[in-house]
Structure 1
Amino acid sequence: MKKIYFMIAFTFSVLGFAQENYVSEDFRVSLDDIKASSFKKDTTANALVIYEYGNSYFDSNDYVLKTEVKRKIKILKREGFDNATVTIHLYNNNTRKEKIDDIIANTYNLNGENVVTSNLYTSNIYREEYDENHTLVKFTLPNIKEGSVIAYSYIISSPFMYNYNGWVFQEEIPKLYSEYRTSIPANYDYNIKLVGNLPLTETDIKLRPKCLSIPNPSPQPYSSNNDLTADCSDAYYLMKDIPAFIDEDYLTAKKNYLSRVDYELKTFKGFNGVVENYTKTWKTVDDELKAEPNVGRQLSRSVEADKLLSSTILNEPDALKKAMAVYNYVQDNYTWNEEYRIFNDVSVKDIIKDKSGNVSEMNILLHNLLEEVGVEVKPVLLSTRNNGFATKIFPVISEFNYLIVQATIDTKTYLLDATDSYLSFGELPFRCLNSYGRLLDFKKGSEWIDIAPKEASKILYNATINFNENNKLVGKISGKSTGYHSLNFKKSYYPNKEAYVNGLENNYPSIEITHHEVITEGKTSPDFSESYNIVLDPEVIGDNIYLNPFFVKFFLENPFKLQERTYPIDFGYKDSYFYMISINLGDKYSVLELPQDFIVALPNNTGMVTLSSKTLGPTVNLTLRVDFKEALYPSEFYPYLKEFMTKIVDIQKNATIVIKKI
């Protein structure tokens, strides 16, 4: 009967409708939903969430947390077929587990003017044991085509009330309507965190008296009502017209910016008056970490520095030089196994024996050796760029996945990480540049510290050229890089020097490169300096010579391509680029045309690009300077940065000096 009614509803629908008249506030699939063929607000979208609804509440009948989910999705393009495959995560421990019920899923297509409904059968729902604590429930809706509408719903029952379900409003495809409702008994006190930059369309929180009722295990005699009751906080969150979240360069973990609501249980108050605290203070966490076998106890473990370090290191009178030598010793003699497990299987004894270990083992060994030679050191917990920001409001230790060392020498602090053999002293891997970390001080208490690099990373090139007797341009290019730019160059050059030079030649095929030389102390040097000779045939048209002066280009294309970006632009560090070329024309050539000078600045003077060119006697001098004065720019700067980068790419690609032979 339900199927017959559904078909009748479609048959009598009005056929005159707008192309995109989606029914976005109802789970019911309409004829307009099915007939629509595009989404004008985002023509790149391959699928569209028309409607989604979630409702989490405590079921007093069986005393579990239930979450109802409903979703209606339009498949716009073949690339959107993946949205018809649904994966649901269920958690379990040794004694209890989550379960899923009432999975209903249908696909709706048009056959002429008739709606064809394809049902998901129970036999096509699969379970996969992901690990010892997680089970995946998977299904793929049938008969998916371009233009299909899929609708599915299910209910999750969870005995883990402390793990209240969050709700993600923004995902990789746009959404028209996303609604989430919650009902939380007053026994449970949660930290509720709204993440992301998108505003809620509507929100409301109300108190509902006596929403939860359970039998009193110790009833009072002659009482008419012995049930124990609690009020509920009922919340309603709604977000409409949600743009798709699209990855782009200069982004930390996506979950930092996806608009969503998260829950963290603080306390539970039992009807018997007992209060259980789930969210701890940093004072409590510090005490626990101090006694924790994988952190505190390893940090306090003594190491035999006199057996591991050379007498030269041990007898070095300069504290900074001694610290640098210890740091280089760990870099050169121990290898990071690329494991991030900072609270599991940590043993200083094992890494000394095996010469390889995880992040904690590498850097705790560094910490302990520095401490043994008299350097003031403290460990720092942080979350890497790909792992997301650690919560600052309250301690969530599970959000940290990395450990580094802070050393203080002559009142100056250095942040150290020995996992990368190319790092210079005081430099962290790029993966660590995630704004802040938690400095552990087991005597005075932990605190948040800024881990952003203080100095800008730089690239500087200086080219000097002139015409030889064969009317070719010959000269020399000298380059120097510092900071993270230097790190990239070192990692490209030292493993295979020949391949590096071949790469230069491949990047600039019109230029002949000879006598390449690197003038750098080694792979842990804070800078990278190189020079090489060049020869090139200029472009000659008639009596004029056309020369693009940028033999080396900083940016080959604009990395910013979105029309709009709702999350910050995170470069990780401030940086600066400088290019200068001097062309000696002698007495046989003269300049007809130079690129026009200009200055372009970002708002609030947070960045600048300047181009200037001039002649001084027979010499043409041209300089380009690009400065990014901030490591992090808010999303409001995106259109300015996009235009800024367009200007830089354009000038490097199209700048021309016109020279005439006398």
Structure 2
Amino acid sequence: MRKILVVAFLLFLQTAVSQKLQLGKVTVEELKEKSHGLDPSAGAAFVFKTGHTSFVYSKDKWLVTTTVKVKIKIYNKNGFEKANQGIAYYVGGGTVEKAFFSDAVTYNLVDGKIEKTKLKTEGEFIENVNDEWKIKKIVLPAVKEGSIIEFSYELISPHITRINDWYFQGDIPVNSAVYTALIPQYFQYRTIITGYEAIDKKTDIVNGAQYAELKTTYSGSNIGAIREESFVNNIKNYTSILKYELASVSKQNGLIENLSQDWSGVTKQIYDDDNFGKQMKLGSYFEEELKQALGNKNSPDERIKAILQFVKTKMTWDGKFGIFCDKGVKKAYTEKTGNVAEINLMLIAMLKYAGIKANPVLLSTKSNGIPSFPNRTVFNYVVAAVEDKQEFILLDATNHNSFFNILPTRTLNWAGRLIRDNGRSEDIDLMPTKVSIDKVSVLASIDESGGVSGKLREQYYDYAAFLFRENNDNLNNQACVVKLEKKFQGIEISNYSLENVKNLESPIIENYSFEHNDLVERIGGKMYLSAMLFFEKKENPFKQEERKFPVDITIPYSDSFSIVINIPKGYEVESLPENMNLIMDGNYGHYSFVISNSLNTIQISSTYTINASLIPSIQYKNLKQFYKMMIDKQNEKIVLNKIK
């Protein structure tokens, strides 16, 4: 009897949970809710989202159907955008997908009663993205603060190789998310769940009349929103997403067709493609011009520099990514324009012609994310790697500011895959390890009225120079002055000059004179000012209490300041900030602040260094505290007292 009662209770619980995940079950209490319990700042939250994917064999082909049901609570105007929903579906290649919305309703509380507003015809439309993709869109009606919106959609696809990613996490909290997949015994899929949230998994075998199915249910609850933060390369890399890839298919004759590959198989397939490997073996189209460009340059470094500059001068990037050539290197060379593959495979071909050991490196750009499975479609970019003894020199001729191991920041996405002539491949680190230096020297004077004037010299090395060139490309000196005066509010700049703008081997040098009348605070007979003048940091970029994913600094760097301040006649130093030497745990960061005075002169030396491209999440609190202590120190005041 007791066993029967336990079973009955469990069935009751299952029924209760199931009812909570059904559309149309909206209560007055839900509509009255003013904010999310775990995230009061949220503009909206998923009350629940459920997904169910199943296969049907019809007319000699398999169809994959995914049905999704969603219930969202809108708390304030920041959540209104959730009234706009869309499903992308594939229409290219003659095998089109179909998408349908249904049960789209908005609920509001009006005079204490629940008011239901259904989606009208004019609230549904189709957006044509390109020849291959469309988006079915809806706009939920009558949405306001406190609303609850519901909808469901169905996606029917003939593409068994592609099961859409399931997002357990997004930019708003998720109270409950459940996804179930019923996979026929003929198909084996590889799965991965990215991110850091706890997702439960349960599997069962379901025996049908014709074939067995593997039923897998994934569920998560109280999943926090994932939002953009400082120093994140691509937030999707850290979002909890379920991804599927078809690994094998069992044929009726009992044979198994393996579809998944390892990285070696993927790169070998790419290399053997005529629009990749073959393109690096062509050379007749550039030989005569390249010979002239090389001239009498004999050393490897000279020849590499000459070839890189030749390609950058000769070719214009058309803005298109890709690892395969669209029109081929020969035609691209003739037309003087090409995609990433055409330009950088051409570069590799020229390096090989000149006797330089060079090979392509496949990678996925930051915007494309980190590859989840070995697959030729995960790469969307290729650069050149010159093997120099035990090191590599990475090159990219699509950007006129790039140089030896100075790649465009879009490519700095952890690791790439180097392919040798025999098709073998290996991982290669893309992240910079050399610290890029930004060095500032200032000679300043304070007058009796509290005005500060002086001269400044700033030197940018390596990636600091690259970023300066990128951010100030095609700007004249006057435009640079305007940018600086906007950055440092209250400053007036004169005698501005730049050195080495086009000389990529040398640091950018910026010189100017300045005046500033808002750096010194005068109270009574005293003057107060920051030792860093207008360079002090004001705000800590790390605001969250915890962080589950690493801090992507991307480029290790060092900001160094040497400042000399002449104080006005009739004043003396009353107090100075204390010296500081901070070393972050694990030596990820170092901050040094040294200040002294002699007669009427104050000398400041301040250096802030981050030594790593990526700082693990376990160090986040240390990094946040490191920043806080540095910022607090930089905002301490020098106090000058009027001599009586």
- TM-score greater than 0.5 by the shorter chain: yes
Residue identity matched to 2:616: P
Q: Of 315, 319, 339, which aligns to 1:338?
A: 319
Q: Which moved more, 1:569-578 or 1:272-281?
A: 272-281
Aligned to 1:459: 438
Q: Which moved more, 1:473-482 or 1:329-338?
A: 473-482
Q: Helix, strand or coil: the match of 1:500?
A: helix
Q: Of 581, 585, 598, which aligns to 2:563?
A: 581
* Contact kept? 1:335, 1:357, Cα under 8 Å: yes
5+ residue gaps, structure 2, are: 1-18
Q: In the TM superposition, what is the alpha-carbon distance from 1:263 to its structure 2 partner?
A: 0.2
Aligned to 1:441: 420
* Contact kept? 1:545, 1:659, Cα under 8 Å: yes
Aligned to 2:231: 250
Q: Of 346, 359, 364, which aligns to 1:378?
A: 359
Answer yes or no: is 1:90 the counterpart of 2:72: no
* Contact kept? 2:294, 2:307, Cα under 8 Å: yes
Q: Of 399, 403, 408, which aligns to 2:382?
A: 403
Q: In the TM superposition, what is the alpha-carbon distance from 1:50 to its structure 2 partner?
A: 0.5
Q: Helix, strand or coil: the match of 1:131?
A: coil
Q: In the TM superposition, what is the alpha-carbon distance from 1:172 to its structure 2 partner?
A: 1.2
* Contact kept? 2:447, 2:567, Cα under 8 Å: no
Aligned to 1:56: 53
Q: Which moved more, 1:617-626 or 1:169-178?
A: 617-626
Q: Of 27, 30, 36, which aligns to 2:27?
A: 30
* Contact kept? 1:375, 1:409, Cα under 8 Å: no
Q: Of 611, 624, 628, which aligns to 2:593?
A: 611
* Contact kept? 2:293, 2:306, Cα under 8 Å: no
Q: Distance in 1 between matches of 2:277 and 2:166?
A: 36
1:53-112 per-position Cα deviation (integer Å, ceiling 9, x unaligned): 111122367853222211111111123222122211222444433334572222211122
Q: Distance in 2 between matches of 1:177 and 1:546?
A: 55
Q: Of 217, 234, 238, which aligns to 2:219?
A: 238
1:308-358 per-position Cα deviation (integer Å, ceiling 9, x unaligned): 135462421211111111111222232212111332514211222122211
Aligned to 1:641: 623
Residue identity matched to 1:527: P
Q: In the TM superposition, what is the alpha-carbon distance from 1:182 to its structure 2 partner?
A: 1.4
* Contact kept? 2:395, 2:405, Cα under 8 Å: yes
Q: In the TM superposition, what is the alpha-carbon distance from 1:250 to its structure 2 partner?
A: 1.6
Aligned to 2:531: 549
Residue identity matched to 1:433: L
Q: Of 508, 520, 532, which aligns to 1:528?
A: 508
Aligned to 1:163: 162
Aligned to 1:560: 542
Q: Distance in 2 between matches of 1:385 and 1:100?
A: 30
Q: In the TM superposition, what is the alpha-carbon distance from 1:453 to its structure 2 partner?
A: 0.9
* Contact kept? 1:250, 1:571, Cα under 8 Å: yes
In 2 relative to 1, CA 40–284 (structure 1 residues): closer, same or farther, beyond 3 Å?
Answer: closer
Q: In the TM superposition, what is the alpha-carbon distance from 1:256 to its structure 2 partner?
A: 1.0
Aligned to 1:598: 580
* Contact kept? 1:476, 1:533, Cα under 8 Å: yes
Aligned to 2:119: 120
TM-score between both structures, scaled by the size of structure 2: 0.89
Q: Helix, strand or coil: the match of 1:498?
A: helix
Residue identity matched to 2:322: R
Q: Helix, strand or coil: the match of 1:79?
A: helix
In 2 relative to 1, CA 342–661 (structure 1 residues): closer, same or farther, beyond 3 Å?
Answer: farther
* Correspondences of 1:7-406 after superposition (within 5 Å): 25=21, 27=23, 28-59=25-56, 63-100=62-99, 103-121=102-120, 124-200=123-199, 202-208=200-206, 210-211=207-208, 213-214=209-210, 229=211, 231-309=212-290, 311=292, 313-391=294-372, 394-406=373-385
Q: Helix, strand or coil: the match of 1:199?
A: coil
Q: Distance in 1 between matches of 2:578 and 2:176?
A: 50
In 2 relative to 1, CA 442–593 (structure 1 residues): closer, same or farther, beyond 3 Å?
Answer: same
Residue identity matched to 1:188: F
Aligned to 1:423: 402
Q: In the TM superposition, what is the alpha-carbon distance from 1:305 to its structure 2 partner?
A: 4.6
Q: Of 464, 486, 498, which aligns to 1:518?
A: 498
* Contact kept? 1:346, 1:360, Cα under 8 Å: no
* Contact kept? 2:88, 2:135, Cα under 8 Å: yes
Q: In the TM superposition, what is the alpha-carbon distance from 1:464 to its structure 2 partner?
A: 2.7
Q: Helix, strand or coil: the match of 2:129?
A: strand
> Following TM superposition, where does structure 1 have runs of at least 4 consecutive aligned residues deviating by more than 6 angstroms?
468-472
Aligned to 1:222: none
Q: In the TM superposition, what is the alpha-carbon distance from 1:377 to its structure 2 partner?
A: 0.4
* Contact kept? 2:293, 2:310, Cα under 8 Å: no
In 2 relative to 1, CA 89–530 (structure 1 residues): closer, same or farther, beyond 3 Å?
Answer: closer
* Contact kept? 2:531, 2:636, Cα under 8 Å: no
Residue identity matched to 1:105: A
In 2 relative to 1, CA 159–624 (structure 1 residues): closer, same or farther, beyond 3 Å?
Answer: same
1:186-241 per-position Cα deviation (integer Å, ceiling 9, x unaligned): 211111011111122x3212333x33x44xxxxxxxxxxxxxx3x32221211111
Q: In the TM superposition, what is the alpha-carbon distance from 1:497 to its structure 2 partner?
A: 1.8
Q: In the TM superposition, what is the alpha-carbon distance from 1:258 to its structure 2 partner?
A: 1.2
* Contact kept? 1:320, 1:409, Cα under 8 Å: no
Q: Distance in 2 between matches of 1:113 and 1:440?
A: 67
* Contact kept? 1:51, 1:72, Cα under 8 Å: yes
In 2 relative to 1, CA 554–487 (structure 1 residues): closer, same or farther, beyond 3 Å?
Answer: farther
Q: Distance in 2 between matches of 1:539 and 1:57?
A: 70
TM-score between both structures, scaled by the size of structure 1: 0.86
In 2 relative to 1, CA 586–375 (structure 1 residues): closer, same or farther, beyond 3 Å?
Answer: same
Aligned to 1:16: none
Q: Helix, strand or coil: the match of 1:638?
A: helix
In 2 relative to 1, CA 533–298 (structure 1 residues): closer, same or farther, beyond 3 Å?
Answer: same
Q: Helix, strand or coil: the match of 1:637?
A: helix
Aligned to 2:608: 626
* Contact kept? 1:189, 1:267, Cα under 8 Å: yes
In 2 relative to 1, CA 379–94 (structure 1 residues): closer, same or farther, beyond 3 Å?
Answer: closer
Identity of aligned residues (%): 28
Residue identity matched to 1:530: E
* Contact kept? 2:359, 2:418, Cα under 8 Å: yes
Q: Which moved more, 1:331-340 or 1:618-627?
A: 618-627
In 2 relative to 1, CA 638–410 (structure 1 residues): closer, same or farther, beyond 3 Å?
Answer: closer
Answer yes or no: is 1:485 the counterpart of 2:464: yes
In 2 relative to 1, CA 476–138 (structure 1 residues): closer, same or farther, beyond 3 Å?
Answer: closer
Matched residue count: 620
Q: In the TM superposition, what is the alpha-carbon distance from 1:540 to its structure 2 partner?
A: 4.1
Q: Helix, strand or coil: the match of 1:425?
A: coil
Q: Distance in 1 between matches of 2:452 and 2:124?
A: 69
Answer yes or no: is 1:414 the counterpart of 2:396: no
Q: In the TM superposition, what is the alpha-carbon distance from 1:645 to its structure 2 partner?
A: 3.0
Q: Distance in 1 between matches of 2:144 and 2:539?
A: 36
* Contact kept? 2:433, 2:613, Cα under 8 Å: no
* Contact kept? 1:295, 1:346, Cα under 8 Å: no
Aligned to 1:498: 478
Residue identity matched to 2:203: I
Q: In the TM superposition, what is the alpha-carbon distance from 1:122 to its structure 2 partner?
A: 5.7
In 2 relative to 1, CA 498–45 (structure 1 residues): closer, same or farther, beyond 3 Å?
Answer: same
In 2 relative to 1, CA 172–523 (structure 1 residues): closer, same or farther, beyond 3 Å?
Answer: farther
Q: Helix, strand or coil: the match of 2:421?
A: coil
Residue identity matched to 1:603: D
* Contact kept? 1:565, 1:635, Cα under 8 Å: yes
* Contact kept? 1:185, 1:233, Cα under 8 Å: yes
* Contact kept? 2:99, 2:154, Cα under 8 Å: yes
Q: Distance in 1 between matches of 2:446 and 2:142?
A: 69
Q: Which moved more, 1:617-626 or 1:40-49?
A: 617-626
Aligned to 2:12: none
